[in-house]
Structure 1
């Protein structure tokens, strides 16, 4: 009997990640990634398992998400054909709006609805849709599933989703949606293995990567998160400002003559670590820089994370477990230590040696709060939900 495979597609703002999952045991047998999309360095590809190390490098001149997604899927199809039959494809989709609170099978009506959310996630939604389009072109009859970053947060109480604006706007869907839900869903799924009964207590998960946010959980369900109507809100990020005074936007448009598009680019692509440091949006580069502006950028990143963590702790009534995940959260011991230093009042104390070794347990033995550094795996969530919807 031919082995059935699920392909997962996870399009980020500067990367594409693909997984090859065996349906019979839900084991990921291969993974491929295209990195540095839209950077001066230019895109490069790598793979492991399922013959994906043979994926090769993108053709010269191919630099956009849509073209790279189509190229990567075509190469994946070519190298995995002897391992089994591709039976379904699952996609990460950043914004599901108020309409989608769970994964769905993709059809024309779903695509039309998702296109309506492009303005709410301009750095991600078009890339997610291009992945769906490329899959349709390569495998026209293959079932596809959209898994939403916003869906995990639909469990929040209404007060956490509501902004202090005229009610008619709220009723029209101008809400705090939250993002990184697939990452948070994975951490919620594996947390009992690391935290035991405390997994169902008061938990803050810090997803710190090029995009960054926090999620406060009770009983492993989202209660509060730092991103809002769009993925621009909340923490300082690689190139995104995070939360700022809305009056700044008015000032830039009204007093400095900037267009809405120019302000959009400033806040989404020229701010954050890049804007403050003037050096890089990459934490690894900043940590090796001697430029004092790089130090200021890292200090501000930690300060903002600490302040927001305090706010989230209020929403969940305290703190039992703190989890660091994603690229910075999982691998930057220095940034974890900086953020933890702001949270001593909540009972967070790190073990320096365990933190330097990247855990998974990085809290001191006497720390009232359990602190973990865990891998996230959005692709595992996508694969699991795709199998559930398509194969039951």
Structure 2
């Protein structure tokens, strides 16, 4: 069966098409800058282990127009991989926030859509785009079963001592204010890959997802027991544009003493802070260039970024009562050897001994970067959220 996976962001759509049970996608793509006249779509078709890439710039006013363009590419007479959109059996959607209602992959029904919509206030930057992706896909693939895979679902195994805040109980019972965690699909995928590699299904693993958004998870026996993101995706690590952990007093000070409006503070912490606030750049590749040019702001940003990760490694090693592996994943985690070296520095007491030569190697496969004799494995595991979503869709519908 064909499974079409959609990862719909506020101004982008990532997608992959699988001819299940083959886990190598038939095609994949990325549509960026939706809503602008110079939107771009990069479409890749995989045949006989070869990759055919096409890229276009065109006006894409909204997600509906974007997905229509994707369908056109899927069925293109020359480069297409489908004769008709009706061949798609399942559409899998990444949905960021499932609250406490969804602890597993779920077939989308009107009631499920209503709950996703109800959760808009908990993920205002993500759930509306995810919901829109569902509505558009329902119109373009009316015969297909629509399935939701929730970023928060993997973290529903957190114990109350990890997910509750020390606030009045009514705020939790009436309004659902608690830590939910995010990037769950990625953490679950790479933790499972690592456990299989270790040959230990009960392994104690710390997963470190470092992209533009960043988070960590403590995983015990394949289950999340703690994670760095909380009520929303703002807390925890320093990120591309998000502040990460912050004393709430700063927010009160900005509003009461500096005249900020709440929406200004929200924009400041979500879009103008993190590495962007520290250096003027949100992309680590630009920050690396600045660092190599001797920019002290870039040096501080790198140190601060790595230091925050180290603190969570220490905390999660305590939570897990030991450690079998640390896993780096996502764009920065997989590709930035400097960050990995800074993170692992001075953690020998935990059993982390980085292999410098191994760390500098750059491949697209799961690999060890620890010294050969090290007790704790340091792994780089490429994440693949789209494949993880496809797997979960197939498991749900063939159970």
**With structure 1 as the length reference, what TM-score do the two structures score?**
0.91
Verify: 1:366 aligned to 2:373, yes or no.
yes
Number of the residue aligned with 2:56: 57
Would you say the 8 A contact 1:95–1:114 is kept in 2? yes
Cα separation, partners in 2 of 1:112 and 1:196, compared to 1, 3 Å? same
Distance 1:370 1:37, change over 3 A: farther
**What does residue range 335-350 of structure 1 map to in structure 2 within 5 Å?**
335-350=339-354
Structure-1 residue corresponding to 2:70: 72
What are the superposed Cα offsets for residues 309-356 of structure 1, whole Å, 9 maximum, x if unpaired? Answer: 212222111222100000011111111101111533322111011000
Match of 2:386 among 368, 379, 386: 379
- For residues 361 and 40 of structure 1, what CA distance do their matches in structure 2 show? 44
Aligned-residue RMSD, C-alpha: 2.4
Number of the residue aligned with 1:82: 83
Q: Residue 283 of structure 1 aligns with which residue?
A: 284
Does the CA contact (< 8 Å) of 1:66 and 1:127 recur in 2?
A: no
Determine the C-alpha separation between the residues in 1 that align with 2:211 and 2:191. Answer: 18
Structure 1 alignment gaps of length 5 or more: none
Q: Distance in 1 between matches of 2:147 and 2:238?
A: 31
CA distance in 2, matches of 1:303, 1:37: 35
- CA offset at residue 244 of structure 1? 0.4
What SS does structure 2 have at the residue aligned with 1:21?
strand
Distance 2:36 2:218 in 1: 33
Residue 71 of structure 1 and its aligned partner are, at CA, apart by 3.0
What TM-score, normalized to structure 2? 0.90
User: Following the alignment from structure 1 to structure 2, what is the Cα–Cα distance between the partners of residues 39 and 363?
Assistant: 45
How many aligned positions are there? 386
Q: How does 1:220-369 map to 2 (within 5 A)?
A: 220-278=222-280, 280-289=281-290, 290=293, 291-358=295-362, 360-369=367-376
What is the DSSP-based 3-state SS (H/G/I as helix, E as strand, rest coil) of the residue aligned with 2:17? Answer: strand
Contact conserved, 1:19 with 1:30, CA < 8 A, in 2? yes
Counterpart check, 1:177 vs 2:180: yes
Cα drift, residue 27 of structure 1: 4.1
Matching of residues 91-110 of structure 1 within 5 Å: 91-110=93-112
Mean alpha-carbon deviation: is it higher for 258-267 or for 123-132? Answer: 123-132
Aligned equivalent of 2:133, options 128, 131, 134: 131
- Work out the CA distance in 2 between the residues paired with 1:52 and 1:139: 26
Contact map agreement 2:36 2:61 (CA 8 A) in 1: no
Q: Is the 8 A contact 1:20 1:30 kept in 2?
A: yes
